[in-house]
């Protein structure tokens, strides 16, 4: 059960490691792009490519879905960024339960956007945790963890891709332990718990009164999506890349003005007048916000 690219990677690992995937449950196709064309999820596209049956229920909380589940009759359900909360009768139906791949070191950053949050909050380390699901949001018993360092300038997109690969690897190891009867369960600690919801427009707007480090972390933690932004002459300016110079000044390196294309800061400033520009390659604005 999964929907976005992050989940597709876990599905690829299952297929490549010869697990018998009896079916895929993914979100219904949704309109995408400027033309709002109905588009299948990455998980659906891959599943169809490798001839795995795909199901796209509007809800998993009715009798119709439970009948489908009984027909598939899975030994175990893998849940990776599916996007819907599962009811108890689904969570506890399979013989070996439901296993979730979560992109944080639980119990920190339970919830919808753990990768964004880790970068925005300036974390140095994050990782993957696999858990046996229960009724709570990412509260189940932990199985395996793997940590990874977060680069100083690493973006959400870059960390997302790395964690997706780590998640697939840890999932395979988790399933092998369950299959071999060597799996161990660990209760999540009561201390260090935090939750993070989905990012919204208010979250993405930059407050230039904050220190440079916090601004830089927000920019990279929201790049490429949903993207940090500010305002320039009444137009929204999305900011995809920045860095902090040795003297504590934040420099914006890759931007996109409302109605325009994403481009390097150098190209952007070359096309505009009266923009303060550093002579360094690619720099656009300099803000004296100290670390």
pLDDT tens-digit map of 190-228: 999 999 998 887 889 999 999 999 999 999 999 999 999
pLDDT at 274: 53
Distance between CA atoms of residues 160 and 8, nearest Å: 12
Handedness of CA 193, 198, 202, 207 (dihedral sign): positive
Distance between CA atoms of residues 104 and 127, nearest Å: 5
Handedness of CA 173, 178, 180, 182 (dihedral sign): positive
3-state SS assignment for residue 268: helix
Cα 224-157-10 angle, rounded to 5 deg: 135
Q: Which CATH number fits domain 5-196: 3.90.180.10, 3.30.360.10, 3.90.470.10, 3.40.50.170?
A: 3.40.50.170
pLDDT at 200: 81
pLDDT tens-digit map of 224-246: 999 999 999 899 999 999 999 88
**CB neighbours (10 Å) of residue 286?**
16
pLDDT at 272: 73
Mean pLDDT of all residues in 54-61? 97
Packing angle of the helix pair 5-16, 156-180 (nearest 10 deg): 40
Q: Is the pLDDT of residue 283 over 50?
A: no
For residue 170, give both structure tokens. Answer: 């840890």
pLDDT at 215: 96
pLDDT at 273: 60
Tell which residue, 252, 225, 105, has the closest CA to residue 156: 225
* Structural element, H or E, at residue 242: strand 235-244
What percent of the chain is modeled with pLDDT above 70?
Answer: 93
Q: Do domains 5-196 and 201-287 have the same CATH topology?
A: no
For residue 265, give both structure tokens. Answer: 């800061």
6-24 burial code (b ≥16 CB/10 A, e <16)? bbbbbbbbbbeeebeeebb
Distance between CA atoms of residues 130 and 51, nearest Å: 26
Tell me the whole-structure pTM to 2 decimals: 0.92
pLDDT at 202: 80
Three-class HEC string of 168-180:
HHHHHHHHHHHHH
Q: Which CATH number fits domain 201-287: 3.40.190.10, 3.30.413.10, 3.10.25.10, 1.20.1440.230?
A: 3.10.25.10
Q: Is the pLDDT of residue 264 over 80?
A: yes
Distance between CA atoms of residues 56 and 63, nearest Å: 15
Residues 6+ apart with CB under 8 A from 85: 137
Strand-strand pairing, 110-111 and 195-196: parallel
Mean pLDDT of all residues in 159-186? 98
Distance between CA atoms of residues 227 and 203, nearest Å: 10
Distance between CA atoms of residues 99 and 282, nearest Å: 45
Domain chopping of the chain, boundaries: 5-196, 201-287
User: What is the maximal distance between C-alpha atoms in the chain?
Assistant: 67
What percent of the chain is modeled with pLDDT above 90?
Answer: 85
């Amino acid at each position: 059960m999964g929907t976005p690219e992050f989940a597709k990677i876990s599905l690829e690992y299952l297929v490549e490691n010869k697990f018998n995937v009896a079916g895929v449950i993914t979100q219904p196709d949704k309109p995408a792009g400027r033309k709002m064309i109905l588009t299948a999820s990455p998980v659906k596209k891959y599943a169809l490519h490798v001839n795995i049956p795909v199901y796209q229920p509007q809800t998993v909380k009715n009798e119709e879905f439970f009948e489908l589940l009984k027909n598939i009759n899975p030994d175990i359900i893998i849940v990776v960024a599916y996007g819907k909360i599962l009811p108890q009768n689904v969570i506890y139906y399979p013989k070996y339960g439901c296993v979730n791949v979560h992109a944080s070191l639980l119990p920190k950053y339970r919830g919808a956007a753990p990768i964004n949050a880790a970068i925005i909050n300036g974390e140095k380390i994050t990782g993957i945790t696999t858990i046996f699901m229960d009724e709570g949001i990412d509260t189940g018993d932990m199985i395996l963890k793997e940590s990874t360092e977060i680069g100083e300038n690493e973006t959400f997109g870059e960390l997302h891709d790395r964690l997706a690969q780590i998640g697939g690897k840890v999932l395979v190891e988790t399933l092998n332990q369950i299959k071999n009867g060597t799996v161990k369960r660990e209760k999540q600690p009561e201390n260090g718990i935090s939750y993070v919801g989905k990012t919204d427009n208010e979250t993405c707007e930059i407050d230039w009164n904050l220190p440079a480090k916090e601004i830089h972390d927000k920019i990279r933690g929201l790049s490429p999506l949903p993207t940090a932004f500010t305002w320039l002459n009444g137009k929204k300016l999305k900011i995809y890349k920045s860095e902090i110079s040795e003297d504590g000044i934040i420099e914006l390196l890759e931007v996109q003005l409302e109605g325009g294309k994403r481009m390097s800061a150098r190209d952007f400033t070359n096309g505009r007048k009266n923009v303060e520009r550093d002579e360094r390659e690619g720099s656009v604005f300099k803000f004296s916000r100290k670390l």
